Structure 1
Amino acid sequence: MSSRKYPDRPMVGVGATVFEDDRVLLVQRGREPSLGKWSLPGGLVKLGESLEEAVRREVEEETGLQVRPVDLVACLDRVLRDEDQRIAYHYVLLDFLCEVVSGTPRAGSDVTACTFVPLNRLSSLDLTRGTKEVVLRAWDLRKDSGPRLYDPTL
């Protein structure tokens, strides 16, 4: 099994953009990488787990919410190097637009805080790279009734 830090291969992670009116659900990271920064709830896909299962599990673990993935918002590469330019972390991230099925938000595992943040306050937070852009893309995708990129039945 590959370690998260100094891995021998890329790791696949999922994230969720969840909206309540004009607010988006964010979590404050409780561990490295990006300890203390605000980001979308999410985490690594487990062996044998579908992307949909991973999104549902990770969001519930970190926020207490049960969600349903609606569509894929973004695919991101995250290669983080240490001071010697060795690859400290390498993630391939798939961020999804999600709808709340049930639950009340509360900080769970791996996070120190969990809250819905007004979209107009995103610039005032210490966000992980790309978070604001993914949130705004997901906000626009909510109104799109075209074909979906993510179809778990294919």
Structure 2
Amino acid sequence: YDAILGKPWLYQINPHIDWRTNTLSLNDGPRNIKISASTSRTTKKPECHSLLISRHQLVRTPADEEIFAVCATSEEVTPKETYLSPEEAIILKEFANVFPAELPNQLPPKRKIDHAIDLVPGAELPSRPTYRLSYVEIDELKKQLADLTAKGFIRP
């Protein structure tokens, strides 16, 4: 896109948009300006892929393709103190046993009514590939799965 017109601009200028002819008309003082959209259409939609490629693959990339390299890092932020209104503080104090500092390492005790998901006998579970994950995400996923399996919350 050559220009993306936001709602504040459209609100301020209040142009006339003719959707059938793809034109935008606006008044700039005494002048009437008419802008036509490009009639050429791209045959290929832009795509964005997140993956790692080798130097050999990079050299073989067609000249008309675009390649972007982004290195996004996050700074470690110290948690800010949360402000509680006096009413919220009273409620939290009253129900302190409901909001523990740490969650227990086991499932809740068995009760008269227990939730269960009944499976259809002989039905196959859907098999789908996982999304591509970064090395950091894979490490975190492995930690979470190991932790939840050890606590008995999930099973392989």
Judge same fold: TM > 0.5, yes or no: no
Give the TM-score normalised by structure 2: 0.16
Q: Which of the two has higher C-alpha Rg? A: 2
Higher relative contact order (CA 8 A, sep 6+): 1
Higher helix share: 2
Q: TM-score, normalised by structure 1?
A: 0.16
